[in-house]
Amino acid sequence: MTVGGSQPGGSDGFPLPLRLATVLLGIGLLALLIAAVARLQPSTRSATAPTASPAPGASGTGIALNHDLSRPIRHAVVLVPLDDFPTDRATAIRDRLAADYRLPISVAESLSIHEETFDPGSNQLVAESIIDQLGALHPEWQAGVLVIGLTTTDMRIAGRPDWRFAFSYRVSDGVAVVSSANMSVFLDFGEDARWNRFGKMVLRQVAFLYYGLRPVTDPSDLLYNSILSTDDVDRIADHL
């Protein structure tokens, strides 16, 4: 019978030099363990976490901003619900933007969409036609007010026949429209994700047409220059 690899008639333990080395190694490991446990204990010293100063244009509510909002190119925003767009959703967007950015923003009365703004072939709204209608009925865009139409109806852009639909459309004069029609996916399990995406797209219009910000190439930034799917919308931030 062998114990520890020794031959019969030999010691049933480790040779002395190895035993001593093992004891010393054990002491060293114990010391390391004690040091590691000590590091895990909460420090009793008080520390002050650094606090970020509100970025220009921020409300001071703690929202972290990535862009300079101190030089807007317009002085107000009006949201215009189109047809059956839920007014409570428009109000919630208004309240959030006013709180987060101190934005001078209001919700107008609902507007009925003209029949001629629909494409008879696809039964989709034609974005350019909606912009024309919004601009005619809300001429305040000429006085520096950003007008954003909100719709639940599917929409396409006549100038982009290669696109099956559009989430939003805007013109530099200060009129935009955002559609929630294609902002739901099968695994959403409720409406929250849809309206979160919609809120991001509304904020994008504010970023470009109220603050005058430019698109960027960072796919995680709200101002990402290529939003082509709900995955793209989910990937971008929900704040500026």
Q: How far is CA 60 from CA 55, 73, 163, 205, in A?
A: 8, 22, 40, 22
Q: How far is CA 26 from CA 14, 19, 20, 38, in A?
A: 15, 10, 10, 18
Q: What is the 3-state secondary structure (H, E, C) of 102-165?
A: CCCEEECCCECCCHHHEECCCCEEEHHHHHHHHHHHCHHHHHCEEEEEEECCCEECCCCCCCCC
Q: Are 152 and 135 spatial neighbours (Cβ–Cβ below 8 Å)? A: no
Beta-bridge partners for 216: 224
pLDDT given at position 32: 52
CA separation for the pair 90, 35 (Å, rounded): 57
Strands 175-179 and 168-171: antiparallel
pLDDT in tens, 102-150: 999 999 999 999 999 999 999 999 999 999 999 999 999 999 999 999 9
- Residue 47 in tokens: 């520390």
Integer-rounded Cα Rg, in Å, for the chain is 31
Q: Are 47 and 189 spatial neighbours (Cβ–Cβ below 8 Å)? A: no
Q: How many CB atoms lie within 10 A of CB 35?
A: 9
| pTM exceeding 0.85 | no
pLDDT given at position 189: 76
- Residue 31 in tokens: 């010391």
Looking at per-residue confidence, does 217 or 7 come out higher?
217
H-helix or E-strand containing 176? strand 175-179
Give, to the nearest 10 degrees, the angle between helix 87-101 and helix 192-209. Answer: 50
Residue bearing tokens 């190119």: 73
Domains, the chain, ordered by start: 76-235 (3.40.390.10)
The whole-number average pLDDT for the span 28-41 is 48
Q: Are 193 and 209 spatial neighbours (Cβ–Cβ below 8 Å)? A: no
- Residue 220 in tokens: 């995680």
CA separation for the pair 11, 183 (Å, rounded): 77
pLDDT in tens, 174-192: 999 999 999 988 887 778 9
pLDDT band at 63 (very low <50, low <70, confident <90, very high): low
What is the distance in angstroms between the CA of the first residue and the CA of the last residue of the chain? 76
pLDDT in tens, 186-233: 887 778 999 999 999 999 999 999 999 999 999 999 999 999 999 999
